[in-house]
Amino acid sequence: MEDQTNRAVQRVIETMHDNVGNPITVDEMARTAMFSKFHFCRLFQKVTGVSPGRFLAALRFQRAKHLLVSTSLSVTDISGRVGYTSVGTFSSRFSSSVGISPSTYRRLGGVIPRVHIEPTPDLSTPAPSALEGEVHPPADAAVGKVFVGLFPDRIQLGRPARCTLLPGPGSFRLGNVPPGRWYILAHAAFLDGRRGAPGSTQSLSVGSFGPLVVTRPGSAGNVLIQLRPMQPFDPPVVHALVDDPSLPHAS
């Protein structure tokens, strides 16, 4: 049954890739998977960690990122190619999801200088915690700087609650973590550049830990994140690659 489920979800993800610029409804996805709508949504979430709609939205931003750095198409043309009828809506959602505007992303070549994090909780909330752990490198491959961020879902979309940038795989600390249910997500680019254009699925290694529930102040360790080449079932990395040693550790 697991193989059947994975094949069904894989068909839908392939359909998303093939129709990233066209309207595609959850009903159509469910028909492609050959499941009822309710059953399909539940299985897709189980396999990928996110809803079909969020996966498709992230896939569209990933495609837009690739087009911005690999073509001379205008932002208007790119917005249409990834399914947006309004360039204003596309630009606004791209900025909030990726971290910078489409034009700035193009100008910087897909590498952003800084990540904006969610504001520090005010004093009326419970005291924050710290999370500590290690990121292990992928097998038989070298990676560069490692982004580690705290997100409410298993997808790197929108502002992280906290984040840090490591010079490479190794120990990390996320301080001032507010109470909540979190995923610690990491990504890094392969150093040899053999796997694809910057920001593409083939160019990245990813890893995750969670969900982790933070309920009281203190320091939690023993968080281990194993990086591995990105797979088709992994939600797209929407955030731009970061290259700034002054990125806040939020400690």
Show pLDDT as tens, one digit a residue, over the chain (251 residues).
Answer: 578 888 999 999 999 999 999 989 999 999 999 999 999 999 999 999 999 999 999 999 999 999 999 999 999 999 999 999 999 999 999 998 888 899 999 998 887 766 655 555 554 555 568 899 999 999 888 888 899 999 999 998 888 889 998 999 999 999 888 888 999 999 988 886 554 444 444 578 999 999 998 887 666 668 999 999 988 899 988 876 665 544 443 33
User: Using an 8 Å Cβ cutoff, are 186 and 135 in contact?
Assistant: yes
* Integer Cα distance of 150 and 55 in angstroms: 18
pLDDT of 198 reads 46
User: Using an 8 Å Cβ cutoff, are 153 and 181 in contact?
Assistant: no
* 3-class secondary structure, 250: coil
* Integer Cα distance of 244 and 182 in angstroms: 24
* Integer Cα distance of 215 and 181 in angstroms: 9
User: Using an 8 Å Cβ cutoff, are 167 and 145 in contact?
Assistant: yes
- DSSP-assigned letters across all residues of 175-212: EEEPSEEEEEEEEEEETT-TT-STTSGGGEEEEEEEEE
pLDDT of 127 reads 53
| Helix segments in the chain, DSSP class H | 2-18, 26-33, 37-48, 52-70, 75-81, 87-98, 102-107
pLDDT of 250 reads 35
- C-beta neighbour count of 24 within 10 angstroms: 19
User: Using an 8 Å Cβ cutoff, are 185 and 154 in contact?
Assistant: yes
For residue 64, the surrounding DSSP H or E stretch is helix 52-70
Cβ within 8 Å of residue 42, ≥6 positions away: none
pLDDT of 218 reads 66
pLDDT of 126 reads 54
User: Using an 8 Å Cβ cutoff, are 199 and 65 in contact?
Assistant: yes
In angstroms, what CA-CA distances link 63 with 143, 159, 175, 192?
22, 20, 33, 22
* pTM of the predicted model as reported, rounded to 2 decimal places: 0.81
Q: What is the DSSP letter of 140?
A: T
Helices (H) and strands (E) counted in the chain, each on its own, are 7, 10
Q: Tell the residue number behind the tokens 């498709």, with chain if given.
A: 56
Q: Tell the residue number behind the tokens 């409804």, with chain if given.
A: 25
